[in-house]
Structure 1
Amino acid sequence: MRLSVIIPTYQHATTLPRALDSAFAQTRQPDEVIVVDDGSTDATVEALAPYRDRIGYLYQDNQGAPVARNRGFKQSTGELVIFWDADVIAEPMMLERLEDALKENPEAAWAYASFWWGRRLFQGRPFSAEALRSQNYIHTTALIRRKDFPGFDESLKRFQDWDLWLTMSEQGKVGIFVNESLYRVLVESDRPSYSRWLPKFVYQLPWRFLGWTPQAIRRYKAAHDVIVHKHRL
């Protein structure tokens, strides 16, 4: 089966070459790599110059990651697709492991694995639709069967991955877990930053009784409420 790698990018000129090198170093080579530039104003074009004969390149005005991912999907041709963020560095066998999991489990619509966020390990778990309704444990970087992909909700600013897996689960589709840490999400200085990740307990603090709620918490809760309402969690 053909396998397409779709890389949405916005202001990731420093990490994008590493992500591309990682994709091209796979033991299971992708049949196509499509980069969707979501209106970057940094040195993304220059960073892509050495790869232009090996990738498909699409540019759009800044519209957000869901729009960029959907556009890349529409341009892709693979029966299998993976949305590979521009700050993701994979183990060389990642695509091979995920594809093997789908071959061995024809009932599964997507395959996913554990991963590192900077220095923090996010340990995955076997697929459970019920557990998924409580919290997301599947990153966007998963290998999906094209025929089962419903598209990303372009109205969402956050939790697009959780929404995707919930939608597919509600359609009766299941994922298959590969119990290995197969990639790393790069974080500035290789440490989680306040703006991109906060420990779970921080979100659970009784902020309304403390007289002040950080903007990151307010945005998180608002986005979380959208998912809760949409999927009746």
Structure 2
Amino acid sequence: MTGDEQGALTASADPKPPCSIVIRANNEEQHIGRLLEGILRQTVRNPEIILVDSGSTDATVAIAQQYGARVAHIQPSEFSFGRSLNLGIAAARGELIVIASAHVYPVYPDWLESLLAPFSDPQVALVYGKQRGGPEARFSEQQIFSRWFPERSNPRQAHPFCNNANAAIRRRLWEERPYDETLSGLEDLDWARWAINQGYALAYSSEAEVIHVHHETPRQVYNRYRREAMAFKRIFPQEQFGWRDLLRLTTGNIASDLWHAARSGRLRSSWSSIVWFRWMQFWGTYRGYRQSGPLTWQLRQTFYYPNGLHAAPQPASRQVEPIQYNEMPANRVQE
């Protein structure tokens, strides 16, 4: 990357912040203000905010600057998830780097505090937090969030699953091994695998909760899972996903989702989206890679398998009041 082409930021002379938050964005004016307002209301005060913008044509950059974010630019033609993160982290001054999608927002004012707390263990290289869908989320995506991000925290996770929509890493370890800029996705999984192989641990914090907003069309769901499968086969070259996997996992997850939707009284409103979402998820995965060799069992369970025919656990009660976003100042966010 060249500084001029990528809009690299120069280091600031201000005191080192408690953490640096790197946000990747492209045309996120509808969502980014809520994330930035949530950051403003955190118990961890004065974090550094760095926006890596990949060619927004809306008010994304202007909104971020209203909240004091430093902005780095990357050309859409040069974008990859790993490259944009490397650009943002290179400009960051904090030792602890928080990574957030532009279309998430924290539920509680101690989100950052909960996400950073596991770093008190010097062996922890990465922490990731809970994600849930908003009221408008597809039913199947809500089921996926429930599967991937359980209600109980795990201070020492043995496998490399994580998600950079809501995560944090140590900068000094990133300096040893930046994100792979050639992967089409799953740069988080790839980096976490490296960290575990180096003897470090991952931690999961269920208290560090965000709402992850997705408004995807069937084609966008297909493209997302196809892209991630292409990256997955790069990271784990011996793995396979054949037509038997496609049929079994599509039918199994559709059946599971329909059962859960019926139990929750949402079958009538959700059945059609359940069918197309799960088909696009696994058809995209099938098209993304077809290789010989078995899937890693823990990752297969995490990525693909349905929740089973039991009720999802109820969210753990907390003594912390959630952030009330309907109180956001009108002059801070452009609708």
The TM-score with structure 2 as length reference comes to 0.55
Counterpart CA distance in 2 for 1:177 and 1:217 is 26
> Superposition pairs for residues 32-47 of structure 1, below 5 Å?
32-47=48-63
Instruction: Name the residue aligned to 2:122.
Output: 106
Q: 1:170 to 1:222 in 2, by over 3 A?
A: farther
Which protein is richer in helix relative to its size? 2
Q: 1:128 to 1:100 in 2, by over 3 A?
A: closer
Matched, 1:97 2:162: no
Q: Which runs of 4+ in 1 moved over 4 A?
A: 214-219, 221-226
What's the offset of the Cα at 1:45? 3.2
What's the offset of the Cα at 1:170? 1.7
Q: 1:65 to 1:46 in 2, by over 3 A?
A: same
Unaligned stretches of 5+ in structure 1?
208-213
Counterpart CA distance in 2 for 1:203 and 1:15 is 39
Matched, 1:7 2:23: yes
Matched, 1:169 2:196: yes
Counterpart CA distance in 2 for 1:160 and 1:142 is 12
2:246/2:286 contact within 8 Å kept: no
1:203/1:217 contact within 8 Å kept: no
Q: 1:57 to 1:159 in 2, by over 3 A?
A: same
Q: How many residues align?
A: 210
Q: 1:70 aligns with which of 78, 86, 108?
A: 86
Unaligned stretches of 5+ in structure 2?
1-16, 226-242, 249-278, 300-335
Counterpart CA distance in 1 for 2:97 and 2:190 is 18
Instruction: Name the residue aligned to 1:58.
Output: 72
Counterpart CA distance in 2 for 1:225 and 1:82 is 34
Matched, 1:145 2:174: no
1:110-146 alpha-carbon deviations (Å, 9 max, x no partner):
22222213452432463433x44xxx3x211212111
Counterpart CA distance in 1 for 2:124 and 2:45 is 22
Letter in 2 for 1:143: A
What's the offset of the Cα at 1:76? 0.3
* Secondary structure of the corresponding residue to residue 206 of structure 1: helix
The 10-residue stretch of structure 1 (174-183 or 148-157) with the greater mean CA deviation from structure 2:
174-183
1:157/1:223 contact within 8 Å kept: no
Instruction: Name the residue aligned to 1:211.
Output: none
Alignment RMSD (CA, Å): 3.2
Instruction: Name the residue aligned to 2:34.
Output: 18
